[in-house]
Amino acid sequence: MASYPPAACCTIGVKHNGDPTGNSLTIESIQAYEAVPKDKVHKDVAILFLPDVIGIWQNSQLLADQFAANGYYTLIIDLFNGDPVKLNRAPDFDLMGWLTKGSDGNNPHTVEAVDPIVEKSIAYLQNKGYSKIGAVGYCFGAKYVARFMAEGKGIGVGYVAHPSFVDEAELLAIKGPWSIAAAQTDSIFPAENRHKSEEILIKTGQPFQINLYSGVEHGFSIRGDPNIKIQKFSKEQAFYQAVSWLDEFLI
């Protein structure tokens, strides 16, 4: 794998302060959150926000609002069919069991379940007239950025932070620019996987970027503690990285 499956570190973090300003909506029974740009608007351009296992919550909504403030219509979708993981679950929480079966044993969060959700969300954006669609993926969501950057899948530009579960074949198949924000300490995306990803990205022939942030761990870009200086700085820089990448390759 280009990155390993999610683990306990994918559920740990800090809730950020702020008041989300976007709107909740439903797309063919899929829960979603939209952040609409106001003063600065990139015409015909949208971002599909594919979240970590915590799903649509305060931190992801605030990030979506920040993308909108930079001119991007941003749509977060519930990849988990109403079954996200709560922040800071107990250490004995069976994350892999949740992935394969869901909380009730009959609501899996596998490729077979998640792909149709992403497909419907891309179709929704296309039907709204967005002709240029980029995607940002955090942890779990990164896999689906890669999957939908394959030929004809609908995503043209991708940015991912501390990715998990990305197969080498999925990364090799991307057909657009790809940016990664990586943590120095990350058992899911350790140094050997970063180096392997670099080798694969060179083979794709696509523009790519891998930024490594020292002093932080998996999840820093969305669940980092803003009261710790290095985490706050790295979270902000990872966001600027995303915006700069999208500004360069999506607009």
Query: Structure tokens of 87?
Result: 């922040």
Residue with tokens 């074949």: 169
191 burial class (0-12, 13-18, 19+ CB within 10 angstroms)? exposed
Residue with tokens 């594919």: 50
> 131, 16, 117, 132: which is closest to 76 by C-alpha?
117
Give catalytic status of residue 109 as yes or no: no
Determine which one of 186, 195, 225, 247 is catalytic: 186
In sequence order, the 6+-apart residues with CB closer than 8 A to the CB of 149 are 135, 155, 156, 158, 173, 174, 175, 176, 178
Taking the C-alpha atoms of 113, 115, 116 and 118 in order, what is their torsion angle to the nearest 10 degrees? 130
Determine which one of 16, 109, 162, 218 is catalytic: 218
Determine which one of 139, 167, 225, 247 is catalytic: 139
Q: 3-state DSSP call for residue 152?
A: coil
Residue with tokens 């973090």: 13
Q: How far is residue 191's CA from residue 209's CA, in Å, rounded to a whole number?
A: 15
**Burial annotation 64-74 (CB, 10 A radius, 16+ → b, else e):** bbbbbbbbbbb
Cα angle, residue 141 at apex, residues 173 and 195 outer, rounded to 5°: 55
Catalytic residues, by residue number, are 139, 186, 218
